[in-house]
Amino acid sequence: MAGNLLPLEADGPHEGIPADRRIFDPLIGSWALDVTWYEGDAVARRELGEWHFAWVLEGRAVQDVWIVPPRGRRAAEPDPYEYGTSLRFYDPAIDAWRSTWVGPTQAAVRLFVARPTAGGGIVLDGTDDAGRRLRWSFADIAADAFTWSNATESAEEAGAWVVTQRFAARRTAAAG
């Protein structure tokens, strides 16, 4: 561990995580967000945000913090949305990542299991407090951008997903 890192932070992934299972590695660093909420097919709200990812706990986990609106604008917002965090770790017993998201402003805790997709993305499946299935997806992951979406399984049509929120992310700082 580098001398200037907090005890939580790590220089990189732990050697015990297989290289081909380090699915969150491309996200390490900082990102500016354009956040869109949907109600049906209509845009309900748009906001800017920021998202930061780092290897933590001796490289055994990835933690992120997302902030909407960004820190520089939170004091001026009448209703700041969220300042939340996820902690994710690779579990070899299920060959997937376990992820817990905590959103204190919305008083929410969500548990997910994350796996890579065939197209190079990441899908996290979980449930909300009402027992509805949730799917959070990272897609179009590139060195300088990605998209993230929050979808809930349709109450009318099992297996159909309704996107309620989407982040368009643009890299502002690499890891390190």
Query: How do residues 85-108 score in pLDDT, each as one tens digit?
Result: 999 999 999 999 999 999 998 889
Can you give the pLDDT at residue 1?
41
Say if 157 falls within a structural domain.
Answer: yes
Answer yes or no: is 2 within a domain: no
CA–CA dist 68, 52 (Å, integer): 12
Containing H/E element for 53? strand 42-56
Find the domain containing 138 and state its range.
19-174
Closest CA to 170 of 27, 2, 11, 23: 27
Which two tokens mark 150? 């929050």
Q: Do 125 and 133 touch, CB atoms closer than 8 A?
A: yes
In a domain, 97, yes or no: yes
Number of domains in the chain: 1
Rg, Å, the chain Cα set: 16
What pLDDT score does 41 carry? Answer: 86
Please report, for the domain that includes residue 66, its CATH number: 2.40.128.20
Helix (H) or strand (E) holding 88: strand 82-91
User: To which residue do tokens 């407090």 refer?
Assistant: 129
pLDDT on residue 73: 76
Distance, in Å, from the CA atom of 169 to the CA atom of 29, rounded to the nearest integer, reads 11
Question: What residue has token string 């299972």?
Answer: 21
pLDDT digit string (tens) for 20-31? 999 999 999 999
Give the residues of the chain that fall short of pLDDT 50.
1-2
